[in-house]
A and B are shown apart, each in its own frame.
Chain A
Amino acid sequence: MKLGISPVLASKLSSKVVKVAILATAVTGGVTLISTSVFASLSATAFNTSGQSVTTGTLKLTQAASGQTGLTGGFTTPISGMAPGDQVNRFIDITQAGTLNATNMTFKVADANTTTLTTDATNGLQITVKECSVAYTATTGVCSGTETTALAKGSANALLVDKALTLNAADLVGSANNVAHLKIVADLPAGSEVTANGTLPSGTVQGVTSSLTWTFTEAQRTATTVQG
C-alpha cells in the first residue's frame, strides 16, 4: 500500500500555508506602519532668537568711620581709660552699596573678652545711636541737619542680641553712596563703686578690657511678583 498525500489535500494545504503567510505579512506590515507613524508625526517649536536678559539685584552693606575731621575714631580706634560717668562718642557711616532696597536694619555687639561692661546691664556700658540727616559737623560732632534717635539708650548687655535700628527710610534705598550718618554714644554710668585700701570691689567696671564687635545687619526688601 502506498502512503502519500493526495493532490487535493496537497492543494488545500498549500492554500492554507499561503493564507497564513499573507496574514503574517499583513500583521507585521501593519505593526511596522503604526510604529513608523509615531516618529513621523509633525511637531513645532517656538523660541526667542535673542536671549532674554535676567539679572538679580545685590544687597550690600558697608560701615566706616566718618571722614569728617576729628570724627574719624570709628569702631577701629580703641577706647581707653574710660571711667564711670564718662561718655565716648564715635561717628560711623553706613552705606547701601547694593542695588536692592533694604529693610529691618539691626545692630548688635559681641564681646570676645567678656567683662562687666557687657554682662552688667546696670553698671556696664549704655549705648545710644543717633542719626543725622547730613554728615556730623567736623570736630564738634554737632548735627546741623535733623537728628533722630535710631536706637534709644540701653545696655550693651541688651545689645548682645540684635536690636532694631530705626533709620530714615531714604537711607535704606539701594544705591551707591546712599549713606546714613550715625553717632554711637557709649556711656559708662557713674554708679556708686567704692574702692577700699587699694582694692576694687567685686563685680567692678573698673580696670577691665573688652573686645567689642559691632555688627549692622539688614534684610532685603520684601520679595515681589511682577506681571508683564
Chain B
Amino acid sequence: MNKKRLVLAGLVLGALFITPQVTDLASAAASALAGNSQTQGITTATYLAAAVSSTGASNPKVALQIVTGGNTNAQYFYVKNFGSNALIGFGFTGNVTSGTLTYKKCPVGTTFSTATRCSDSSTPTTASAGAVTTSLAAGSYLPMSVTPSKTNVTITIATSVNNTQDRAPVISIS
C-alpha cells in the first residue's frame, strides 16, 4: 500500500516538473505573426424536377400517382423544374399495375387542349420513358400525357435529374 502511494506521488511530481518545461519550449519558439482575414458567403444551386398534376403545384418530393377509371383515356401531368438552375433534360419512368403505357408531350409552357392537340395548336409528339432532352428553365414545366392499355390501374411517374442534365458548367472571372 505504501509503495503504491509512493509511486503515485512520484508520478504526480514528475508531471508537475515536466509540464512547465514543455510550455517553456513552446513559448520560446514564438515569433511575430501577421494575419489578415475576410469573410465571403457562398451558396450553391439546385437541379430538381418532379411530376405534378397541375402547373401551379408545389414540389411534392414524391413520385406522382395517377389512378385511372373504367377507361383508357390519356392522363395528363407536368414535369416541372423545381430547382434554381435551368435544365437541359431529365429522366422519367412510368410504372403501371397492369398493362403498358404510352406517352406524349407538348412544348414547354403549353398545355394539352385535347389528347391530340397542344394549346399552341401543335400536335403532341411521342415520348419514351428514359432520358428526355429539353430546355427547362427554373420554374417552367413540360406537359405530358400517359395512356394506359388497361382500365382501373394505378400509374406511378418518377423523375430524376443528374449533373449532366443540369445547365452546362460555368467558369466565372470576377
Contact = CB atoms under 8 A, between A and B. Distances in A.
Interface of A: 59-63, 70-90, 94, 98, 100, 102, 112, 117, 125, 139-141, 186, 188, 190-200, 205-220, 223
Interface in B147-174: 158-163, 166-174
A61 B36 contact: yes
B12 interface: no
B163 A85 contact: yes
A21 to B, nearest CB: 64
A85 B169 contact: yes
Interface stretch (B1-9, B47-55, B110-118): B47-55
Interface stretch (B13-21, B37-45, B122-130): B37-45
A185 to B, nearest CB: 9
The interface centre, meaning the residue of B31, B41, B170 with most chain A CB atoms within 10 A of its CB, is B41
Interface of B: 31-51, 59-63, 82-85, 158-163, 166-174
A11 B36 CA distance: 101
B39 A140 contact: no
Contacts of A208: 43-44
B173 A214 contact: no
Contacts of B44: 81-83, 117, 188, 205-209
Nearest to B157: A197
Nearest to B40: A75
5 contacts: A75-B40, A89-B171, A197-B160, A206-B45, A206-B83
A214 B38 CA distance: 5
The interface centre, meaning the residue of B36, B60, B63 with most chain A CB atoms within 10 A of its CB, is B36
A129 B165 CA distance: 30
